[in-house]
Amino acid sequence: QKLRATIASTYYKDLGIEESDIFVSDGAKCDISRLQQLLFGSEVKMAVQDPSYPAYVDSSVITGQTGLFQKDIEKYGDIEYMRCVPENDFFPDLSTISQADVIFFCSPNNPTGSAATREQLTHLVQFAKNNGSIIVYDSAYAMYISDDSPRTIFEIPGAKEVAIEISSFSKYAGFTGVRLGWTVVPKELLFADGFPVAKDFNRIVCTCFNGASNIAQAGGLACLSPEGLKAMNETINFYKENTKIIVDTFSSLGFNVYGGKNAPYVWVQFPGRRSWDVFAEILEKAHVVTTPGSGFGPGGESFIRVSAFGHRANILEAAKRIKQLYK
């Protein structure tokens, strides 16, 4: 209860989110699956940013929400892939989206590093209202935001009636192995028949999950103390310095570089090349590990994702090798 109250006062102050709206979890990834597989079930149609974190699509596939994988276009049937590319400023043209029951949206986005603006998110909330959709908003990188982009979907008027938000301590405090996160299900969010979504999710959590460990929760409370928040911000600023080194490296070589400003990821374009080929080239010739963009969906083809999570010496060494490879 104390952790829920502290999360509410730290991240949702003055936004009308109360501790009773917050469900503490063992991480955002676990709740993505609980939402997809247990709350929504196999009958819903989902939409997802393309490219995006693979767990959204994979959870949908496991649940049986999708059609078969279509090898020629690298997509599963019956999923609405919302293309997010430089040409549309990494925000989908919602007028082209067919009816979707659930919209997964991550901002700042993994892998592109792009954060949606207030205007864009207002547009998304209105779209969900007009179409009877529920937005599942992944804010796992919100503390990396440097500009005035919203840090939570609940900064947008009306979002409490259409959105669930998932977040975690993994990217702020290195809790990836400790496992601690939270999901916000506002009491104002109702199914079409008027039943509160939070009541269903509460039943699921009580049935399938015995709660985050006391040790992890104690760590979470420490992170949200004044000293903890200061330490988390210092850690995030360190990774943002790493990000700048990576951005400067690829920019100096003439590549189109995206992300890096509001997220720990840098999204680098290699026009006309397959991302797996670029990944293999950098791995074999520079001995540096990146992530091929097509692993995040067909919209990631010809990109690689470069992560800023690492020791400074390793980041500098990687930058040196990449400069030698592409000079």
Peptide bond before residue 108 is cis, with ω within 30 degrees of 0: yes
What pLDDT score does 154 carry? 98
What pLDDT score does 322 carry? 98
Tell me the mean pLDDT in the region 82-100: 95
279-316, pLDDT tens digit by residue? 999 999 999 999 999 999 999 999 999 999 999 999 99
Question: Out of 34-38, 245-249, 318-322, which region has the weakest mean confidence (pLDDT)?
Answer: 34-38
Cα pseudo-dihedral 255, 256, 261, 267, rounded to 10 = -90
Instruction: Decide if pLDDT at 99 tops 90.
Output: no
For the entire predicted model, the pTM comes to: 0.97
The CA distance from 165 to 3, in Å, is 17
What's the full length of the chain, in residues? 327
The CA distance from 78 to 65, in Å, is 7
What pLDDT score does 98 carry? 86
213-271, pLDDT tens digit by residue? 999 999 999 999 999 999 999 999 999 999 999 999 999 999 999 999 999 999 999 99
> Does an H or E element contain 22, and which?
strand 22-25
What pLDDT score does 245 carry? 98
